[in-house]
Structure 1
Amino acid sequence: METAATGPGSRGRPRPTWSELPADVRTGIESALGTEVVEAHSAPLGLTPGLASRVRLADGRRAFLKAAGVHRGAFEVEKLRREARVLGSLRPDAPAPDLLGVYDDGRWAALACTDVDGRPPALPWTPGDLERVLAAVADCAAATTPAPLTGPRFVTDWAADLTGWRSLANSPSGAEDLKAALPADLADRAAGDLDQLARLEAGWSVCADGDTLLHGDLRADNILLTDERVWFVDWPSASVGAPWLDLLFFLPGVAASAAVDVEEIVRSHPLTRDVAPETITATVAALAGFLVTVGLEPAPWYAPEVRAFQLAEAAAALRWLYRRR
């Protein structure tokens, strides 16, 4: 049996269900788990097109199962393979689910991990939830340093993405694109600053390398809170870099949701308080440019709402950047 849920931040279209997977794929997954799946419930959130279900197994265990086939794009299959490698490498004290099983037949890939019985952070962010998550970001960096994998490297993984201002500066429609992406006051200011923003952005990678395995995609729907601890889920974007990067990439989403002093967080947080101000400024500039340009792209068919979220984060990141400057 499989049911689907809806709610705030839910997907534009439902995910495929367990029963819709090919029979040989279901059999292979159950073989990898060592038992049958007897119940499955689709996860309501997420920005991928594949199966993501909380399942109950015949031996009484519960697991979170993800699967994707190449018919939806080879990239989605490779992401699951990458996430399986990451989860299989993490130390037990990392705030991540345990890997329970992996299936890969070349056409389909699937992974199962422990099912965390938690809740996502409240949105808008509350001080209590934010305080817990900020502490967990520091704990996660400690648990993933030194990195258990040698790559991919963050500076390589993100090299093409963190060029948004340079792309806009070189585009004849750059100023018009900004008007479509940002509130009028920010769009006008950024349009006049495009060359300067492009130069500032180019410095993001100078100090971004490191030996921490980063989550790479920390946002509210990839975080679960239980009474005992904070969990970070969905690790396919993990890469190796400087330990403070996850925190900086997380903060625009927080600032877009609630009245939060991100500068005070950066000044006081153990991962960023000793980082050179110019390094943080260049990284925030690059992140703002990325969010603007990705927010202007056509939305994926399975998550049409994502661009609005990204543009809200872009505005928050740009306001943060102008405050720093």
Structure 2
Amino acid sequence: MEIPATGPGSRSRPRPTWSELPGAVRSGIEHVLGAPVAEAVSVPLGLTPGLASRVRLADGRRAFLKAAGVHRGPSDVEKLRREARVLDALGPDTPAPRLLGFYDDGRWAALACTDVDGRPPVLPWTADELERVLEALTTCAAATTPAPLGEPRFVTDWAADLTGWRHLASNPAAAEAARAAFPDHDFDLERFARLEAGWSVRADGDTLLHGDLRADNILLTEERVWFVDWPSACVGAPWLDLVFLLPGVAASAPAFDVAEIVRTHPLTRDVAPATITATVAALAGFLVTVGLEPAPWYAPEVRAFQLAEARAALRWLDGLI
């Protein structure tokens, strides 16, 4: 039985449901899980087009299930394969779901993991919940160092994305569009491009990073903080997840002093200020450029979110230079 998601936060483009998966795929998933699916509840949040459901099995066990087919894009299937490898490698002290099973027939893939009965942080962020998440980031970095996987490397995965200012500096039409979208900011493209180019100098490391940390990839329970959705995990310096999380925090709650968080947090307080400035510059350039791209059909709201993050990152950068 599939129960559709309703109410605030439901997606304008609904995900496929359990009953809409091909029969052979459903049977294969149930074989991997060792029991039939008795109930599935679609989850509305997220920025991927595949199935995402909380399921109850006939034997009473629960799981969180994600599935995707190559007909919607081979990259979504590959992301599930990558996430399965990551979850299988994470140690028990990592605040992440455990892998319960994986199905892959070449055209469809499905991942089942721990069903965390939690909720995302309240938006705008509150001080107490942000403090919990910041503490959990320290715990997570300790649990994933040394990294249980050697690849992919953060500096390789992000090499093409973190060139936004250099792209704008060499593309007058794109630069004009960016200036029009951010009229309150005077872009010094050549200076920003030089700053951005230094982001990777200290970005390598031996920590398995989440790689895509934002509020909708965090779940809070009474007991702990969980980081979920790990397909973007990569190996790099332990402080990167924190820096990449903060524009979203500042976009939601501008009163938080993200620069002060970086100066005092255990993961970033010993990182050279020039390294932080270069990384924030690169992140701001990425958010500016990606925020102006056409929205994917399955997540029309994502560009507005990224543009809000871009404004927060630009404010942060202004305070650093």
TM-score, structure 1 as length reference:
0.97
The match for 1:224 is 219
The match for 1:185 is 184
Q: Distance in 2 between matches of 1:245 and 1:12?
A: 32
The match for 1:304 is 300
SS in 2 for 1:54: strand
The match for 1:292 is 288
Contact 1:11/1:47 (8 A) holds in 2: no
Q: Distance in 1 between matches of 2:4 and 2:299?
A: 15
Measured after TM superposition, the shift of residue 9 of structure 1 is 4.6
In structure 1, the gaps of 5 or more residues are none
Measured after TM superposition, the shift of residue 179 of structure 1 is 3.0
Matches within 5 A, 1:138-157: 138-157=138-157
Letter in 2 for 1:286: A
SS in 1 for 2:147: coil
Q: Distance in 2 between matches of 1:273 and 1:30?
A: 47
The match for 1:64 is 64
Q: 1:276 to 1:9 in 2, by over 3 A?
A: farther
Q: 1:8 to 1:260 in 2, by over 3 A?
A: farther
Q: Distance in 1 between matches of 2:197 and 2:46?
A: 31
Report the identity percentage.
81
Measured after TM superposition, the shift of residue 177 of structure 1 is 1.5
Letter in 1 for 2:72: R
**Is the aligned partner of 1:137 residue 2:133?**
no
Q: Deviations over 1:299-318 (max 9, x none)?
A: 01111000000000001001
Letter in 2 for 1:290: F
SS in 1 for 2:101: strand
Letter in 1 for 2:197: A
In structure 2, the gaps of 5 or more residues are none
Q: Deviations over 1:136-188 (max 9, x none)?
A: 11110000000000000000000000000000010021332113432x211xx
Q: Deviations over 1:53-100 (max 9, x none)?
A: 000001111100000000000000000000000000000010000100
SS in 2 for 1:270: coil
Q: Deviations over 1:111-158 (max 9, x none)?
A: 000100001100000001100000011110000000000000000000
Q: Which consecutive aligned stretches of 4+ in structure 1 deviate over 3 angstroms post-superposition?
A: 6-10
**Is the aligned partner of 1:210 residue 2:205?**
yes
Q: Distance in 2 between matches of 1:177 and 1:52?
A: 35
The match for 1:164 is 164
Letter in 1 for 2:31: S
Q: 1:280 aligns with which of 253, 276, 283?
A: 276
Q: 1:6 to 1:281 in 2, by over 3 A?
A: farther
Letter in 2 for 1:90: L
Q: Deviations over 1:232-258 (max 9, x none)?
A: 000000000000000000000000000
**Is the aligned partner of 1:126 residue 2:133?**
no
Contact 2:3/2:39 (8 A) holds in 1: no
Q: Distance in 2 between matches of 1:164 and 1:201?
A: 8
The match for 2:11 is 11
* Aligned alpha-carbon RMSD (Å): 0.9
